[in-house]
Amino acid sequence: MKIITIVGARPQFVKAAVVSRAIEEHNSKNQDNLIQELIVHTGQHFDENMSDVFFEQMNIPKPHYHLEINSLTHGAMTGRMIEKIEAVLIKEKPDWVLVYGDTNSTIAGALAAKKMHIKVAHVEAGLRSFNMRMPEEVNRILTDRISDILFCPTETAITNLKNEGFDAIDIKRVQCGDVMYDAAMYYTERSTKPDAIAEGSDFVLSTIHRQENTDDKAKLVSIFEALEEIAKQQKVVLPLHPRTTKKLQNFGIETSANIQVIEPVGYFEMIWLLSNCKSVITDSGGLQKEAFFFDKPCITVREETEWVELLHNKVNFLVGSDKKKIIDTFNHVNTMNIDFSMNLYGTGNTGALIVEQLVKA
């Protein structure tokens, strides 16, 4: 069996590495039924940190193809990706194309494969924010509809697909758990303290980067005023995204010494921060889950989240950008005895389950 894996951003490499390791394990035990995986990096998110050291430290296979497509509009980027991915598929003739999440790389890989009658598997299928203004929502919905097998991380994802009529569509759906849980468990022992953080410090971890927050001055001011109030009670550590840095400067928003602004961190450092913080305030989708993986309450400064099971189990709290609501929720969370014992994202064997299903299909 030959699989082409399409990825376009650093988080997708981390997710794909989970399945790549499972493929290696399968091959070590099944010499007569080997799987060949070739990785295609579209280049969607240019990341200077993705050097050879990144792949070596993370134990991630290096891409076999690098398409170098970035810094374009959504339409131009997706169109060019389809064209170049199609050329790779014509050359390699895979049995499966494997895509992850909800980026332009995801939908481009799925479309290129489907039009060539190559089977498509979608990891992180069935997630919905129900906000069609998000490009990611469009990408994930369309990818789900044209895939041949959907690997769903949660029961909520399975339910979303059922509600959309997938019972009447010949697409296999598998609730397999979350590859990011596998990754978090695998990399925990490699976590690294950021140099700027004092050992044993008591802090709240915050990340703010989503366009709907950073591009709206009123929202950004409200969020940072709330962080300033919270920082009077407990230090806030803020790895600052370049987009947010630029917007803060443009809007004339300054932070006090109570907020420790640090450079963006790598995955190993983020795991350390998650392991050692008291709570999380974020607008990141992935960090909401990772906070749960490390038993940390999360306050989400968005109007919606794809990870609604975290809300239902009262480990994540959706507050939007309202200053008072952010502060009140933080104070309330500090008094709560939160139960993190529920199993929401599998048991850490998602990669193996995905490989097992692809072999069976």
Residue positions annotated with a catalytic role = 209
Could you tell me which residues come within 8 angstroms of residue 244 by beta carbon, excluding any fewer than 6 positions away?
A: 208, 209, 214, 220
Q: Are strands 279-282 and 259-262 parallel, antiparallel or unpaired?
A: unpaired
Q: Tokens 């230090």 appear where?
A: 235
Containing 22, the helix (H) or strand (E) segment is helix 10-29
Which is it for strands 149-152 and 298-300: parallel, antiparallel or unpaired?
unpaired
341 Cβ contact list (under 8 Å, min separation 6): none
Cα end-to-end span (Å), the chain: 11
Tell me the C-alpha to C-alpha distance, in Å, between residue 301 and each of 187, 212, 229, 236, 242: 27, 10, 15, 15, 18
Which residues have CB under 8 Å from 34's CB, separation 6+? 1, 27
Tokens of 173: 């759906």
User: Residue 174: how many CB atoms within 10 A of its CB?
Assistant: 17
Cβ atoms of 287 and 268 closer than 8 Å: no
96-100 vs 172-175, strand pairing mode: unpaired
